[in-house]
Amino acid sequence: MTHDARRYCALPSPFAMKRGGALREARVAYETWGELNSARDNAVLILTGLSPSAHAASNAEDPSDGWWEAMIGPGKAIDSSRWFVICVNSLGSDKGSTCARSINPATGEPYRLDFPELSLEDVANAAHVAVTSLGIDQLACLIGCSMGGMSALAYMVLHPGSVRAHISVDTAPQAQPFAIAIRSLQREAIRLDPHWNNGRYADDDYPVDGMSIARKLGVITYRSAMEWNGRFARIRLDPEQRDDNPFGLEFEVESYLEGHAQRFVHTFDPNSYLYLSRASDWFDMAEYGNGNVMEGLKRISVEKAMVIGVSTDILFPLEQQEQIADGLRAAGAAVEFVALNSPQGHDAFLVDIPNYSRAIGGFLGGL
């Protein structure tokens, strides 16, 4: 028996996209935890990284663990006995929201590469529609993780006054060349797989190799070299675990990446991956500050903010978190900056739960 707690919000039709074009009959998926109070002022919105669904934690309709299970629930850091928690699946993601895999009502066929160019501003605007559809004028807090942190910055700059407090988790005000380069290689791996077929693949003729390499590249950058050394060193696989191919898997770290990739490959739509990856490259707060990131950030008005970063994050380096903190402070927010030394790198927010719980729970407890 499959459990599904997703709810759906229809977007205005047409829904205009930042870079041109529009979607018709589009929607986003979301899930909720806790109850909205009578004043409608206890809502907390979570915007996700590139691949997660709206199922951030278990709930009555879907008891399976969510991607941030240890953080959300009664008595947890994001306390659903106090807060009405909403997690929206990004527009362009294949976890229930309209994406490249969805049917284009104009043709009756999947959009594939006819899906309009996607920006994180579109992701933010779609999430804002979902929030207002619930009768919420202002969020008590907006939490953005990784790509979702960039979407959150877009949300706040495009919808002034819609957010009282903000928690920025392992993100950036713009992509740096290293992050763009990695995502470029991930997209190239997918596009060079002959089964990708210019976006016209089928489930039984699927770009497995391209998606596998893209995921491995991602996993390498989501963790730190320190963690790789500590976990795997130079340990080799037992002879019976190796494959017979020349240059095949020999080290434990290779086997770990292979396992990660195999679990991921069929769980995310390749075209959705391409669209959201490119949207992450394009996002730039400098667009809102006449070419200056700090000036763009100064256009965001919130009362309080917490910016969390990790010293071992190579994808969204700590100095980018400091930039967000400085910008929000310059805009008049009371900002708490938390620099963690978690060895897990960018993925620390999914793994180092004690430190993130302490920070996020403490901040929300003070609201």
Question: Residue 169's beta-bridge partner residues?
Answer: 145, 308
Residues belonging to the binding site are 215, 347
- Return d(Cα 150, Cα 90) in angstroms, integer: 12
Q: Where in the chain is the domain with CATH 3.40.50.1820?
A: 7-175+284-366
Q: Tell whether the model's pLDDT for residue 297 goes beyond 80.
A: yes
User: Where are the CATH 1.10.1740.110 domain residues in the chain?
Assistant: 179-273
pLDDT digits (tens, 9 = 90+) for 111-155: 999 999 999 999 999 999 999 999 999 999 999 999 999 999 999
pTM for the model? 0.97
Main-chain phi, psi angles of 76, to 5 degrees: -90, 180
Task: List, for residues 250-276, the tens digit of each pLDDT value.
Answer: 999 999 999 989 999 989 999 999 999
Q: 245: pLDDT confidence band, cut at 50, 70 and 90? A: confident
**Structure confidence at residue 42 (pLDDT):** 98
Percent of the chain whose pLDDT exceeds 90? 92
179-273 in CATH: which number?
A: 1.10.1740.110
Bridge partners (DSSP) of residue 45 are 86, 142
Query: pLDDT by residue (tens digit) across 51-79?
Result: 999 999 999 999 999 999 999 999 999 99
| Binding site per annotation, positions for substrate | 215, 347
Copy the structure tokens of residue 249. Answer: 């898997």
CA pair distance 312, 257, nearest whole angstrom: 19
Residue with tokens 């699946």: 89
pLDDT grade for 241, boundaries at 50, 70 and 90: confident
pLDDT score recorded for residue 242: 86
Active site residues: 146, 313, 346
Assigned CATH for 7-175+284-366: 3.40.50.1820
- Tell me the residue type at 105: P
